Chain A
Amino acid sequence: MPSAPSALPAFGHLPLQAGEGKTAAIVARGLTRTFGKVTAVDHINLTVARAQVYGFLGPNGSGKSTTIRMLCGLLLPSAGTIDVLGYKIPQQAEALKRRIGYMTQKFSLYDDLTVRENLEFVAAVHELDRAQSGTRVAELLDLYWLGDQRDQLAGTLSGGQKQRLALAAAVLHKPELLLLDEPTSAVDPQSRREFWDSLFALTDAGTTILVSTHYMDEAERCHRLAILDRGHLVADGTPHELEDALPGQVLLIDCANPRAAQDALAHLPGISATAQIGASLRVLGDDSADLQSRIVANLRTAGIDARVETTRPNLEDVFVAATRGATSADRHA
């Protein structure tokens, strides 16, 4: 059995070594992973600061899960270097596993064990003794509102309850780094809000969190964000930075028939994406000064009377622009 450095306590935080606090929690360079001929992750460079929520935003199949799995040593990278909490991964993955919490995309605790049995099992796995386990489990049941479900089988919990249980299990040993792979994919909005409140409580206590998602509202709440598209890291920054850095302009078109307007603008040069938002049309365009007038003219020929105004880019625009860029590049190729 692989063993941790002897000085490592079985439970609780390690005292930070000199200078360690300033270093990033995760540093990955040129991270690549191929499955056969498919390149799932392609030369990603990543730096995650401590005590932050760092988001991975990307469509399905963009390499979010693969990257997270490589970072915690579950998958071998095909190329690149990884440093997590000062450990070289994959070489020192076993030592790292005592200091990270990992929450899988699919519920991975035992459906046929009760909430309390699941947590007690995880406590034992992390070598907490019985007394420590009892206090910690009680603490977590209380913290994640699972007290009433303590003797309920995990398989019968609701989506939100399951997710709180999974989070409780992932943080049971008070890890310094938490890796969450699409934790809220099967959860209602109210539970998602509560879940994110819990995440910020953890970062306040010093935990670093890497979370993947495909929800914009969640991405907006991250301290920092990376957008992944087909294995490439296409954008990286705070949500505000990303919005401000969006090239081109975002236009809002008010008209009687947004669907018809969308069709009319489908092939207008300078427009990279359109999306209907209720009674209006949101347009992602390039920087050209005459874009607005060309749109109005184009719509008029189509018999649509429209009012066009610029608006502030949001994260969805950034996401669409970032992931669209590759698509149009592919088309040109």
Chain B
Amino acid sequence: MNLRRLFAIVVKELRQLRRDKLTFAMIVGIPTMQLLLFGYAINMDIRHLPAAILDQAHTAQSRQIVAAIAQTQVLDFDYRLRTPQDLDELLRQGRISAAVVVPPDFERRLIQAGTDERDRPPLQIVVDGSDQTVQQAVRQLAALPLKPLLDPTASAPPANVEIVNFYNPSRRAPVNTVPGLIGVILTMTMVLFTAMALVRERERGNLEFLIATPVSPTELTVGKVLPFVGIGLVQVTLVLLLGVAIFRVPIHGRLIDVYVASLVFIVASLALGVFLSTLAKSQFQAMQLAFFTFLPQILLSGFMFPYAGMPKPAQWLAEIFPMTHFMRLIRGILLRAATLADLWPDLAALGVFIVVMLGIAIARTRKRLD
């Protein structure tokens, strides 16, 4: 490897990048946009679901209980219904996610509640089960103690299990999503940019000139990929700054660990991009391949759905993806103040991934046209 040549390729790449307005905008735009989108949109603590109330009792107590439910802010009662048929229709049309039904004999049922096992429950909440998260949000209303609501003197039933929430006591979703987002954004941009940058050279015919010069494939690959390492670190910084400033995401661990983990992950993503570039014949193909690897990563890495909840084969598959390991690393460091030493298996897994990907890529690269 000749350093003068390597440096020349890096400089050339940066100059081209500076003139490529779209890519340049994507480097800053994708992290910012995704952070705001995911930060605000992904919220498992759901409130203000559109709902209807079907009060067939029409008593002071029934109104009181409806007011109490409204106070939890989980449901917004946009509709007051007269018949169960109306309820069916609104639910089917998707205008409401839930409905509270107060039966005509509400008070009698409430008084009898708990005295006889065959009793019918005093209150019914109908939920749109087509959305799992809505289902879960409404389920918490089932735990609402009804009697104390009506009679302040009655004592609340003692809780049997106390849940102590470490690391995210206020249960704010961005605290979980933002660290993971660093992984999503890096995967998206790093894999895509490198795969496309390397294929572009071939597609535009530059490669035919280059391979007739003393440039080696390693110099070319490393030189083209190096600028993206810097860009990746800029993106990490951007997401961290915005995450801390806008979503008050804590950085409990050491900042240096955050950057080392990110750096290793960036290199792993670049290695994947380099590998994909050896498969693709055009920039369009490179883009398709990048998205093909992106989707399973985002779904199985634990960013969206908990790793522990996945079936075994999905977990094995997830272990291959660099993003799975980075999710554990970055959440561990940022939220649990874990050190790299605590998380070494994931760091090692990324290392193995890098070696394997680059190995295959280099073996597939020839300095010839055929």
Contacts and interface: CB of A to CB of B under 8 A. Distances in A.
B171 to A, nearest CB: 49
A75 B216 contact: no
Nearest to A95: B214
Interface in B202-234: 204-216, 218-219
B172 to A, nearest CB: 44
A98 B214 CA distance: 6
B118 interface: no
Interface of A: 1-2, 4, 69, 72-76, 90, 94, 97-98, 100, 102, 104, 106-113, 117, 120-122, 124-127, 129, 153, 169
Contacts of A72: 212
B12 A113 contact: yes
B19 interface: yes
A126 B209 CA distance: 13
B209 A104 contact: yes
Contacts of B214: 4, 94, 97-98, 125-127
B108 interface: no
Contacts, number: 83
Interface stretch (B2-10, B77-85, B159-167, B273-281): B2-10
A106 B370 CA distance: 18
B204 A111 contact: yes
B12 A108 contact: no
Tier of interface size on chain B:
20 to 34
B364 interface: no
B7 A124 contact: yes
Given A74-B369, A76-B368, A113-B16, A125 B205 contact: no
B215 A125 contact: yes
A121 B211 contact: no
17 contacts: A1-B219, A76-B368, A76-B370, A90-B368, A102-B209, A104-B205, A106-B205, A108-B204, A110-B16, A112-B16, A121-B8, A122-B213, A124-B7, A124-B8, A125-B213, A127-B2, A127-B4
Contacts of A113: 12, 15-16
A329 B210 CA distance: 41
Interface in B338-370: 367-370
10 tightest Cβ-Cβ pairs between the two chains A and B: A124-B8, A108-B209, A102-B212, A1-B216, A108-B205, A106-B205, A112-B19, A74-B369, A104-B208, A125-B213
B5 A124 contact: yes
B219 to A, nearest CB: 7
A310 B369 CA distance: 48
B295 interface: no
A289 B3 CA distance: 72
Q: For the complex, would chain A's binding face be called helix, strand, loop or mixed by DSSP majority?
A: loop
Nearest to B7: A124
B154 to A, nearest CB: 76
B70 interface: no
B241 interface: no
B16 A69 contact: no
A97 B368 contact: no
Contacts of B117: none
A127 B209 contact: no
B5 to A, nearest CB: 6
A88 B370 CA distance: 19
A169 to B, nearest CB: 8
B4 A97 contact: no
A125 B7 CA distance: 10
Given A2-B216, A75-B370, A122-B213, 19 more contacts: A1-B1, A1-B216, A72-B212, A73-B212, A76-B368, A97-B212, A97-B214, A106-B208, A107-B205, A108-B205, A108-B206, A108-B208, A110-B16, A113-B12, A113-B15, A120-B8, A121-B8, A126-B214, A127-B4
